[in-house]
């Protein structure tokens, strides 16, 4: 009976993610079978793809509708657009973008390296996620 009580006390002390994922904090390839990794990656990818599709449609509708309303307001004379100023500002922005794209900042390089390391260590999981994401976009 004391063994059961000790086990119950140990479970209460553990954090919830240790109960779900175990104490091993290494890559998923060391903790789960290939089928489990594909299932987890596929389901999370499908959910992300489905949400991305729905939010993307909503955002596209909002941007397109806003642009349409601005064009109507411009055409009917409610607003006037200084096209020379717009062109000047766009050219200025292009020059700034060209200057900043020569070399990405250190923070971006560090994050890209972290993502590459994660993908290499969890290739099955990320493959399942990518497939699920594409299926989510298609549904």
Structure tokens at 85: 């100023």
Pairwise pLDDT comparison (102 vs 123), residue with the higher score: 123
Pairwise pLDDT comparison (128 vs 7), residue with the higher score: 128
- Residue 109 placed within a domain: no
Structure confidence by residue, pLDDT tens digits, 56-76: 989 999 999 998 998 898 889
Domain that holds residue 66: 36-93+125-139
The total number of structural domains that make up the chain: 1
Q: Under 8 Å CB-to-CB from 38, ≥6 apart: which residues?
A: 124, 125, 127, 128
What pLDDT score does 55 carry? 92
Structure confidence by residue, pLDDT tens digits, 12-34: 565 555 555 555 545 555 677 77
For the stretch 36-58, what's the b/e string if a residue is b when 16 or more beta carbons lie within 10 angstroms of its beta carbon?
A: ebbebbbebbbeebbeeeeeeee
Percent composition of the chain: helix, strand, coil (DSSP 3-state, to 5): 85, 0, 15
pLDDT > 80? residue 82: yes
């Amino acid at each position: 009976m004391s063994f059961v009580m000790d086990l119950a006390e140990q479970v209460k002390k553990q954090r919830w993610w240790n109960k779900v994922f175990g104490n091993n904090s290494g890559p998923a390839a060391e903790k789960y079978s290939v089928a489990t990794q594909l299932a987890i990656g596929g389901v999370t990818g499908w959910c992300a793809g489905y949400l991305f599709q729905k939010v993307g449609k909503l955002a596209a509708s909002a941007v397109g509708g806003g642009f349409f309303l601005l064009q109507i307001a411009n055409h009917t004379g409610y607003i006037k657009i200084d096209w020379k100023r717009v062109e000047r500002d766009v050219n200025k922005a292009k020059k700034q973008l060209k200057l900043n794209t020569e070399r990405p900042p250190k923070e971006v390089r560090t994050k890209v390296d972290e993502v590459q390391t994660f993908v290499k260590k969890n290739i099955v999981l990320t493959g399942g996620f990518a497939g699920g994401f594409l299926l989510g976009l298609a549904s």
